[in-house]
Structure 1
Amino acid sequence: MRVLMLSWEYPPVVVGGLGRHVHALAEQLAAQGHEVVVLCRQPTGTDASTHPTEFAERAGVRVVRVAEDPPHLAFERDLVAWTLAMGHAMIRAGHALLREWRADVVHAHDWLVAHPAIALAEAADVPLVATLHATETGRHSGWLPQPMNQQIHSVEWWLANRADRLITCSAAMRGEVAQLFDVDPDGIAVLHNGISPSPWHVPDELVAKARSSARATEAPLLLFFGRIEWEKGAQDLVAALPAIRRSHPGTVVAIAGQGGYRERLIEETRKHRVRRAVRFLGQLPDRKLATMLAAADAVVLPSRYEPFGIVALEAAAAGAPLVASTAGGLGEAVLDERTGLSFAPGDIDGLATAVRRVLTDPAGAARRAEAARARLATDFSWDTIAEGTVEVYAAAKAAVPARGSTGDACAPPGRPELARPKIPSGNLLSG
């Protein structure tokens, strides 16, 4: 099939797990013989003079990376306007592409590309498939407190209801999407994130150096990695650290990543009197991250909200013992007592107890880590995920009537116009 994929991040422009997901899926589809074009963007804050629109082919995937438009719009300050401008640039590049290449399906990844994906699917008269990687409501624990949150929710609703087929990365997300956007859960395909099961080998001397840099040569070393945002729960690990250090003196927490919650998290370390026991490493390149994963006595993923948790797969690939909350898809990525230890989101005591079990019983932790690594080749194979994605494409293509099938050559292909959704008040995920 000929696939036009749209994503607001694609390596080397990576914000979170979405970019890595789209990159791996696109290359696997290409490896299976499909023709894939990825429409994405240049880095934030650039313009056409420094980063013009570029066309490249990597690993069999044709990548069209569009330049930002001239208006002064900042992602951090003007999110919705910035997103609309990005979409406008993608539409222009997409129309130019469609003049010389025909897609069989358009695949949108998340709300930020809803406008260009819908416009280009209609221009090409092909099915629209959408993967919803997270929801604005979920990120805010069921609430839409500000106008911007409500605007984003309405775009997500539009994309979910306009798409001919939907994909989520976990069964938990399927239920969330069905509830929030009034769509039939039976029509949502669940396709997990994937990872290459090849182990990440790191030489012993680099592991020792990493432990030394974290000042945990003899003491236990815990690692959190990912975006530093409230919903990722690093504050709960900080809150549990005093109890962990009482039973395992000298325990150090290394935090790898960046995000808007970093300064608040530093204040939390002071509040709990563990500032000297917490190391902020910033965003690590893949090689250094692999080294830290190999050096850690446990990787702790204390998310309050997690659509899936690709970080759990990366930790498993490195052979690191896992301690994770059961938030969303993490409960599917980490099987309690089998591939890691779990606790309820926000349960500080449960987090501390699970970490102490790992540190007290390293042999049991190693057995679970090995089981987690072995599971990657079966449950999280990109080959299987790509095959499932193609099945969704084929189902979408079969379900959409050709333009003019009603007898009117100018008729739209059987899709009703959508009204503006109402924004409910209160907690949308309660009950």
Structure 2
Amino acid sequence: MKILMLSWEYPPLLVGGLGRHVHALATTLVAAGHDVTVVTRHTPGALTEEYTEGVRVVRAPDDPPTATGADDDMLGWAMAFNHTLTRAALRASRTERYDVVHAHDWLVAHAAVTLRDHLDVPLVATVHATESGRHQGWLPAPANRAIDGIERWLCAEAVRVIVCSAYMKREVIRLFDVPPSRAEVVFNGVDALRWRARPRAVEAARARYAGDGPLISFAGRLVYEKGVQHLMAAVPMLRERHPGLRVVIAGDGPYRKDLEDLAGSLGVSFAGFLGGHELTALMGASDCYVVPSIYEPFGMVALEAAAAGTPVAVAGTGGLAEIVEHGVTGVTFAPGDPAALAEAVGAVLADRDYARSLALRARSRVREDFSWQTIAGQTVAVYDQARAADSRRVAREAESLLNHVPATRHATA
């Protein structure tokens, strides 16, 4: 099958988990014998077009304006980005005949619909998160409402909508009136070997970040909905029970300055964005990895930490509640509740045997249920469904045209 994927991020340009997801899915599909082209945003130092790990990657240079991070600027940038993305994809498709267009999130929606119409192939959309969910159901500004409208439109235009959890399926059905038959749950995958921490790297990370007490960590984009402020609020309670405790926050984002102001003398350090083996080593060196999100469609980072062999403590919200079983593969706590977070993390830190058993069971489940080979196979099944549904649509349209042809022409044909 020939697949045209559209994503606003792809290695080496990584902003969050979406780029890692698209990369893993694309390379796994290629390994399974499919032909994948990813059209994405250009980044300095990368080639405009190349084959890497078997994937044809086409990178579109930015058109003006440049995004500054403000919502209104982001919308303007996104519209310009869709123009350059469309041009790059059309050039890439001159010599190819694709079977499906796969769009990842609203930032590529306009290009995806244009290519769907131009190439006359079915459109599949993955909704990784929603604007409403990111803002806890509140859409205060015109830009927020515009993004919400684009998400609704993309879901309406797609033959099939892929979501990463049952929680997200309920959300797109409720928010965007997507018929349940058109929404398919396909979990995110994890390359367990990729996240297995090297002993020497773990030792180095431990020496760098940990003191005399336990080490807990978080990694992700520093935005309000990730809930890092609740982890910070729990630190005094944890340090009272576990003297010398250290916390490492890895990642960057618009909320970083506020979090740094909260940190004070809590024993919290900000590592910035960590890539490759650095992040794996930090996870492996930690006594507990914490995901305190208020909103989390899936929570892939929890599985990555589990693959690194680290016990995880997660907020019982969204997809996290589906992938971590309390007391079996990790511990859960009420989202937005620092006292509950401190209690859950404290239970892991206080009992090393309990922590080890959680980590072993979680790593086993990652290998069994969340391999990228499984996820890629399920995604291909969705592509097949989309192609079958689209074929039926084409047949209905052809029949409708025939039924409306004047009798003399119909007889001649």
Opposite residue 111 of structure 1, the aligned amino acid is: W
Counterpart Cα distance in 2 of 1:201 and 1:357: 24
Tell me the secondary structure at the aligned position of residue 402 of structure 1.
Answer: helix
Indicate the residue corresponding to 2:106 in structure 1: 111
1:94 CA drift (Å): 1.7
Tell me the secondary structure at the aligned position of residue 213 of structure 2.
Answer: coil
Indicate the residue corresponding to 1:373 in structure 2: 363
Q: Gaps spanning 5+ residues in structure 2: where?
A: 405-413
1:287 CA drift (Å): 1.1
Determine whether 1:123 maps to 2:98. no
Determine whether 1:153 maps to 2:148. yes
Opposite residue 160 of structure 1, the aligned amino acid is: C
Question: Against the structure 1 CA distance between its residues 97 and 212, is the aligned structure 2 distance closer, same or farther, given a 3 Å change threshold?
Answer: closer
1:140 CA drift (Å): 0.3
TM-score for the superposition, normalised by structure 1: 0.89
Please give the per-residue CA displacement for 1:369-409, whole angstroms capped at 9, x wherever unaligned: 01110111221011111111111111111111338614549
Indicate the residue corresponding to 2:236 in structure 1: 242
Please give the per-residue CA displacement for 1:343-363, whole angstroms capped at 9, x wherever unaligned: 111111110001110111111
Give runs of aligned pairs for residues 94-243 of structure 1, distance below 5 A: 94-198=89-193, 200-204=196-200, 206-214=201-209, 216-243=210-237
Indicate the residue corresponding to 1:329 in structure 2: 319
Counterpart Cα distance in 1 of 2:28 and 2:15: 21
Question: Against the structure 1 CA distance between its residues 64 and 361, is the aligned structure 2 distance closer, same or farther, given a 3 Å change threshold?
Answer: same
Number of residue equivalences:
397
Indicate the residue corresponding to 2:382 in structure 1: 392
Q: Sequence identity, in percent?
A: 49
Give runs of aligned pairs for residues 275-424 of structure 1, distance below 5 A: 275-400=265-390, 401-402=393-394, 405-406=398-399, 408=401
Counterpart Cα distance in 1 of 2:293 and 2:88: 37
Indicate the residue corresponding to 1:266 in structure 2: 260
Determine whether 1:61 maps to 2:44. no
Paired residues of 1:208 and 1:217 also in contact (CA < 8 A): no
Tell me the secondary structure at the aligned position of residue 56 of structure 2.
Answer: strand
1:315 CA drift (Å): 0.2
Tell me the secondary structure at the aligned position of residue 279 of structure 1.
Answer: strand
Tell me the secondary structure at the aligned position of residue 405 of structure 1.
Answer: helix
Opposite residue 355 of structure 1, the aligned amino acid is: V
Tell me the secondary structure at the aligned position of residue 398 of structure 2.
Answer: coil
1:293 CA drift (Å): 1.0
Indicate the residue corresponding to 2:31 in structure 1: 31
Paired residues of 1:334 and 1:342 also in contact (CA < 8 A): yes
1:268 CA drift (Å): 1.8
Indicate the residue corresponding to 2:8 in structure 1: 8
Counterpart Cα distance in 1 of 2:352 and 2:223: 30
Counterpart Cα distance in 1 of 2:168 and 2:65: 35
Tell me the secondary structure at the aligned position of residue 144 of structure 1.
Answer: coil
1:75 CA drift (Å): 4.5
Counterpart Cα distance in 1 of 2:293 and 2:76: 29
More helix by share: 2
Tell me the secondary structure at the aligned position of residue 324 of structure 1.
Answer: strand
1:76 CA drift (Å): 1.7
Counterpart Cα distance in 2 of 1:406 and 1:80: 40
Please give the per-residue CA displacement for 1:174-225, whole angstroms capped at 9, x wherever unaligned: 1111111011223211011101122613224x433322322x3320111011
1:72 CA drift (Å): 3.5
Q: 2:67 aligns with which of 62, 74, 80?
A: 74
Paired residues of 1:7 and 1:39 also in contact (CA < 8 A): yes
Counterpart Cα distance in 1 of 2:134 and 2:197: 34
Opposite residue 402 of structure 1, the aligned amino acid is: V
TM-score for the superposition, normalised by structure 2: 0.93
1:286 CA drift (Å): 1.5
Counterpart Cα distance in 1 of 2:137 and 2:330: 28
1:295 CA drift (Å): 1.1
Indicate the residue corresponding to 1:257 in structure 2: 251
Question: Against the structure 1 CA distance between its residues 392 and 75, is the aligned structure 2 distance closer, same or farther, given a 3 Å change threshold?
Answer: farther
Comparing 191-200 with 308-317, greater Cα deviation is found at: 191-200
1:132 CA drift (Å): 0.1
Indicate the residue corresponding to 1:424 in structure 2: none
Counterpart Cα distance in 1 of 2:29 and 2:398: 30
Opposite residue 5 of structure 1, the aligned amino acid is: M
Please give the per-residue CA displacement for 1:62-84, whole angstroms capped at 9, x wherever unaligned: 11111112x34324241011111
Q: Using CA pairs below 8 Å that are at least 6 residues apart, which structure has the higher relative contact order?
A: 1
